[in-house]
Amino acid sequence: MTLYFHIDVNSAYLSWEAVSRLQHGDALDLRLIPSAVGGDPKSRHGIILAKSIPAKKYGITTGETLHEALEKCPHLLVVPPRYGLYMQASEAMHRIFLEVSPYVQRFSIDESFMMIPGSGVDYLRLGEDLKTRIREELGFTVNIGISSNKLLAKMASDFSKPDALHTLFPEEIPQKMWPLPVEDLFMVGRATRPKLKALGIHTIGDLAATPRSYLVHRLKSHGEMIWEFAHGLESSKIRMDQSAWSKGVGNGTTLPRDIDKPRDAFLYLLGLSESVALRLRLGQKLARVIMIRLKSSEFKSYTHQRTLLSPTDETPVIYETLKSLFMEAWRGESLRYLGVRLTGLSEPTPYQYTLFDSPEKESQRALDRQIDALRLRYGKNVIQRGVFLHKRVKPLIGGVGEEDYLMMSSLL
DNA sequence: TCTGGGGTCCTAGGACCC
DNA sequence: TCTGGGGTCCTAGGACCC
């Protein structure tokens, strides 16, 4: 029988912070005290990203505001996130996985699936050895779930934490999975949960006992999917060699303060264009659809998009399109967030010039590439557009920092 | 000191073509 | 003047995940 493992780092960001600090001579282990990784409230990024187990005992939850967390636990130690460090830790763990099996799917920065082919494998031993190896070589703990498909392996890895190994084979479903609250099921989120409650469905077992046709009637294809999940039915394969994104790439940011002038919005859009276009070019893709996302100070979010005649990876084309999209979409209210997303991706070779492309097209692409090379070699701050001088807006906004460079560094 | 950022997939309506 | 159906593409919004 083919086996699937799901490996999940316990309190990932916080564990990695703790390990890094210990390695750099810090005597304090963040995992042993009430602590959290969180953003900066001054720039309106103040939410809890990860918490220690002692912090959890105070009722602190991921996603809540730092303000709320500090009310629950005034002596909570909060440290800022360092995404570059987390990418390194994730990479190191991934390299260990590949020594165990070539069939590894990275599901997120701290979760992976692994397929173990063949029969007669001592999977408990294999799992325990993997846990031990990660703990001894990398200094942090993981949960491992084992089953005959990815869904059940993922459900198993969530059972009890930390540093635990669980199985959830089909015959164990009634005993181990059906008693759990329905919101513990993968793909039952905060919108589906109340709908199910209204139907009298409170546990995963209740969901499994509900007629499939009834759920399809009420919840369409989503209902069908979660009914199958409740029965442990899932058969997707390991998806290998996936980049972090394959359908689209985006960057967005909550603004340090509300803005209500297009001129201010344009500066952020330029910074977002630079980072998203750089990522697109590093991934060697072109995009045909450009989308802007706006969020008002009242948290009302909306999007506007345009499909281009020919796909592009050029920063100026993306930026000019975004300005135009902004002017069409903006409802005149003050804005809290601006985001950019590029989809409709294609391969850039050979570049398809249209009849109307100007000769400057070639030189613009060459310029973009030279700037990319400089940023990769000397860091993202080595070169920036003049409009950002003496401004507080960053010339590259969003996740194009150490993390993406690290992802790409194996190519360079 | 209110509420992050980066993804995927699905649905529904309208345009457009045959 | 009115009446069709199917297929594809585009757009906007919403649900879910980490």
Per residue in A153-200, pLDDT (tens digit) is 999 999 999 999 999 999 999 999 999 999 999 999 999 999 999 999
Mean pLDDT of A269-278: 96
**pLDDT score at A362:** 80
**pLDDT score at A364:** 84
State pLDDT tens for residues A34-49.
999 999 999 999 999 9
Å: A140 CA to C16 C1': 29
**Which residues of A carry out catalysis?**
111
Quote the CA–CA distance of A298 and A262 in Å, as a whole number: 18
Q: Is the pLDDT of residue A406 over 70?
A: no
Q: For nucleic chain B, which protein residues have CB less than 7 Å from any of its atoms?
A: A 39, 41-42, 44-47, 49, 62-63, 65, 67, 70, 108, 220-222, 244-254, 279, 299, 337, 339, 341, 343, 398-399
Local structure of A76: helix, strand or coil: coil
Q: Is the pLDDT of residue A402 over 50?
A: no
**pLDDT score at A97:** 97
Local structure of A179: helix, strand or coil: coil
Q: Which residue is nearest to nucleotide C11 (CA to C1')?
A: A305
Q: Is the pLDDT of residue A242 over 90?
A: no
Q: Are A185 and A204 in contact (CB under 8 A)?
A: yes
Q: Is the pLDDT of residue A380 over 50?
A: yes
Specify the fold of A177-230. DNA polymerase; domain 1 (1.10.150)
Band of pLDDT at residue A405, cut at 50, 70 and 90: very low
**pLDDT score at A409:** 33
Local structure of A89: helix, strand or coil: helix
State pLDDT tens for residues A311-360.
999 999 999 999 999 999 999 999 999 999 999 999 986 655 666 667 77
Q: Provide CB contacts within 8 A for A174, sequence distance 6+.
A: A205
Band of pLDDT at residue A371, cut at 50, 70 and 90: confident
**pLDDT score at A408:** 35
Closest CA to A308 of A269, A354, A348: A354
Q: Which bases of chain B are under 7 A from a protein CB atom?
A: 1-12
Provide the residue ranges of all domains of chain A, joining segments of one domain with +.
3-9+84-173, 14-81, 177-230, 248-409
Å: A262 CA to C14 C1': 27
**pLDDT score at A410:** 30
Specify the fold of A3-9+84-173. Alpha-Beta Plaits (3.30.70)
Quote the CA–CA distance of A189 and A195 in Å, as a whole number: 10
Specify the fold of A14-81. MutS, DNA mismatch repair protein, domain I (3.40.1170)
Please check whether strand C approaches the CB of A247 to within 7 Å: no
Å: A344 CA to C10 C1': 12
**pLDDT score at A324:** 98
Phi, psi of A47 (to 5 degrees): -125, 160
Å: A70 CA to B15 C1': 53
Band of pLDDT at residue A363, cut at 50, 70 and 90: confident
The pLDDT mean for chain A works out to: 92
Specify the fold of A248-409. Dna Ligase; domain 1 (3.30.1490)
pTM listed for this prediction:
0.93
Name the token pair of A157: 């890895």
Quote the CA–CA distance of A331 and A337 in Å, as a whole number: 14
State pLDDT tens for residues A290-309.
999 999 999 999 999 999 99
Q: Which bases of chain C are under 7 A from a protein CB atom?
A: 9-18
Mean pLDDT of A19-44: 96
Mean pLDDT of A83-104: 95
Nucleotide nearest A81, from its CA to each C1': B4
